[in-house]
Amino acid sequence: MDTPLLNEVIELCRQAGDAILEVYQRTDSLDIHTKADHSPLTAADLAAHRVLASALPPLLDGVPVLSEEGELPDFSARRHWNRYWLVDPLDGTKEFINRNGEFTVNVALIERGEPVLGVVHVPVLGVTYAGEKGKGAVKIANGTRSAIATRRIHQVQQAGQPLAVVASRRHGTDAVDDLLARIRSQLGPIESKSMGSSLKLCLIAEGAADFYPRLAPTCEWDTAAAQAVVEAAGGVVLDAQLKGLRYNQKDSLLNPFFYVIGDRSFGWEALLS
């Protein structure tokens, strides 16, 4: 899979990642502020935002950019956007502050509420995940571009391996524990992997995990890019009603609770409903 638009977005995400690393590698303060919603903001968030907010619109003749660190238009204006860029310049700011490397640059192209192109770049690792609807997904590492795909549950079971479930490093809930207990009772042992940012979804896209339940708040820019990668790789992201996760459908930019599934042919409905 190699398309000009996707390649341009990949390069922009790398540039944004380089801007983040310039701040990350400082030996002095990370220049941390607190936003109105009490979440942290650093100079790295703003540096990456400036790279993307200026360079994305020309790629598609002025298609608007909705960024976590930019101005938020009223829904009365946004509701008419059939196509726009949805951006989280630095997903995992707390991971950035804690210097654990688990933060990403997320850029998605949304068309009629659906993420059709997505790039997730991991600055510390120099790794990029990218996907485009109908064209597959790739992982770029050490200069090598490799196709990635989700894995099938029956293959996991035939190999005698446990189901791999990925969870948030910071947002575990009793509801998740109850759900995993129900899955464990029907499918057997579960291997749990904890991770920050949109990397959780990327693990599923590359077949390193099978399931990610998110039963805690997220915003639309947290998930769109990685959802595009997961779905291009053969998986699916479903809301609590087991319908595809959609974007720009309401005034609030909070996502509903959702499930990220690698094997969309498996009978998840019986476990999740």
**Residues in the annotated binding site for Mg(2+):** 68, 88, 90-91, 222
Asked whether the CA dihedral 132, 121, 127, 156 is positive or negative, the reply is negative
Q: Which of 220, 188, 194 is nearest to 114 (CA)?
A: 220
Burial of 60 from C-beta contacts in 10 A (0-12 / 13-18 / 19+)? middle
> Rounded to 5, what percent of the chain is helix, strand, coil?
35, 30, 40
Q: How far apart are CA 166 and CA 223, in angstroms?
A: 15
Q: Which residues define the annotated binding site for substrate?
A: 68, 90-93, 222
73 C-beta neighbours (distance < 10 Å), count: 13
Q: Across the chain, where does the E strand assignment appear?
A: 33-34, 40-41, 65-67, 83-91, 104-111, 114-122, 127-132, 136-141, 144-148, 163-168, 190-195, 211-214, 236-239, 258-261
Q: Which residues define the annotated binding site?
A: 68, 88, 90-93, 222
Look up residue 33 and give its two tokens. 């502020």
The continuous run of DSSP H or E covering 227 comes out as helix 220-232
Q: 236-240 long-range contacts, Cβ below 8 Å, gap at least 24? A: 236/260, 236/261, 236/264, 237/201, 237/261, 238/268, 238/272
Residue with tokens 């476990």: 271
Q: How many degrees, rounded to 5, is the angle at CA 88 between CA 86 and CA 92? A: 150
What are the backbone angles phi and psi of residue 268, rounded to the nearest 5°? Answer: -70, -25
